[in-house]
Amino acid sequence: MIVRYPGDPVAVGGTISAGSGDAAGYTVHSFTGLGAGALTFGPFVGTASATITSTLSGTGGFTWQSSGTLTLAAANSYSGDTVVDVGTLSLQQATLADGSSVFLNGGATLDLVHGETDTVATLWINGVQQPAGSYNSANSSGAITGSGALLVTNGPGAPTGFAAWIDGFFPGETDPAIIAPDADANGDGVANALVYLLGGDPKDGNNLTLLPTATLVTNPGGTVPDGGYLVFTHRRDATAQANPTVEHSTTLEAPWTIATDGVDGVVVIETTDGFAPGIDRVEVFIPQQANPHLFGRLAVTIP
C-alpha cells in the first residue's frame, strides 16, 4: 500500500489516503497524536480495510471516509468529534470522549465490538440529532452494530414558540411543506404563522372564521378622536411568540404603511381576553382622511 499525506503533519491533523490499489488487510502503526486538528483517514481506492493500533490523542477529531472497515484498536484519548462518512469504523475500546459528538452520515456504520457502554455528548445520524439516551444495534436503524452501546447525554433542545406549537399538532414532522411558518398545513388558505397568532388549529381547524375583519366607522367614541376610520380587528393568542403588524394602503399595492399607535392619527386598542380566555382583541383605527379607498392587512413574522 502506498500512503501519501497531502496535509500538515499528523500531529496537527490532515488527510491520509491510499495512492492506488486496495488497502485491505494493512495495519497502520505510525499515528501518535491528532493535536488540535482533525485527522481524516481516506478515501482509499477500492474497498479499504485497515487497523490503527497506536493511540490517537490530542484535542482534534477523527474522520473515516472510505468503503470497508477501519478498526481503532487502542484506548484512544483524543477529545474531538468522531465522524464516519462512508463505510464502517470499528472501535475495540470504549474510549470516546464524554464531551464529544459522533456523526454517522450517509448510511455509514459505527461498529462497537468492545461490548461496553461509551458515553458521548451528542449523536447525529444522517444529519439529525438524536435524543438523549442509550443507542445500540437494536435501536439505531443499522447505524450502530456490535455488542457495545453509546450513552448520549444531550439531545436536541426542546422546541419553543412556533416550533413547539406546530410540533404539538404534527409530532416529529420535518417536512417544511407542512410545518414551515409560511406553509398551509390543512389547505384552508391560512398560513401556519397566521393560524399560530390567531389561536387556531393548523391540522383540523377551519381557520377562515378566525381571520381579521375591517370596517369603516365614523366618530367611534371612547378614546378615539372624532373622524372616519378603517377599523382593522384581529385576534392575538396571548402565548404566541410572534411579531404581528397591521399595514395599510390606498391601492392594494406597495408601499404598505405599518399602522403604529400615535403615528399619523392611528389609534391601537388592545383588550385582554377580548375574544376568549387567552385570546386578546386588537383594534387598529386608521384615519380614512380624504382617501376614497383604504385597505388593511395583517403580517406576521416568527422570531
The more confidently predicted of residues 142 and 22 is 142
The DSSP symbol for 12 reads G
Which cell numbers hold the place of 28? 497502520
Sequence letter at residue 106:
G
Residues 98/122, Cβ–Cβ less than 8 Å: no
Calculate mean pLDDT across residues 75-99: 93
Which cell numbers hold the place of 258? 405599518
* pLDDT recorded at residue 37: 53
**Length of the chain measured in residues:** 303
Residues 226/219, Cβ–Cβ less than 8 Å: yes
Calculate mean pLDDT across residues 123-148: 94
* pLDDT recorded at residue 59: 79
pLDDT band per the 50, 70, 90 thresholds, residue 30: very low
Q: What percent of the chain shows pLDDT beyond 70?
A: 84
pLDDT band per the 50, 70, 90 thresholds, residue 220: very high
pLDDT band per the 50, 70, 90 thresholds, residue 15: very low
Calculate mean pLDDT across residues 146-175: 90
Residues 216/229, Cβ–Cβ less than 8 Å: yes
Q: Indicate if the pLDDT at residue 207 is higher than 60.
A: yes
Burial group, residue 36, by CB count within 10 angstroms (0-12, 13-18, 19+): middle
Out of 9-23, 91-105, 247-261, pick the least confident.
Answer: 9-23
pLDDT band per the 50, 70, 90 thresholds, residue 48: low
Q: Indicate if the pLDDT at residue 71 is higher than 70.
A: yes
Q: Indicate if the pLDDT at residue 4 is higher than 80.
A: no
Residues 75/54, Cβ–Cβ less than 8 Å: no
Q: What percent of the chain shows pLDDT beyond 90?
A: 65
- The string of pLDDT tens digits covering residues 151-165 is 999 888 778 899 999
Task: Outline where DSSP puts E strands in 172-288.
Answer: 213-218, 228-237, 243-249, 257-258, 267-276, 279-287
Q: Indicate if the pLDDT at residue 290 is higher than 70.
A: yes
- Maximum average pLDDT range among 32-36, 49-53, 140-144: 140-144
Q: Choose among 218, 286, 292, 277: nearest CA to 258.
A: 286
Out of 2-16, 75-89, 181-195, 241-255, pick the least confident.
Answer: 2-16
Q: What is the pTM of this model?
A: 0.54
Burial group, residue 218, by CB count within 10 angstroms (0-12, 13-18, 19+): exposed
Domains of the chain: 3-152 (no CATH), 161-209 (no CATH), 212-301 (2.60.40)
pLDDT band per the 50, 70, 90 thresholds, residue 247: very high
Dihedral of the CA atoms 194, 278, 247, 288 (nearest 10)?
140
The more confidently predicted of residues 148 and 55 is 148
What radius of gyration do the chain's Cα atoms show? 30
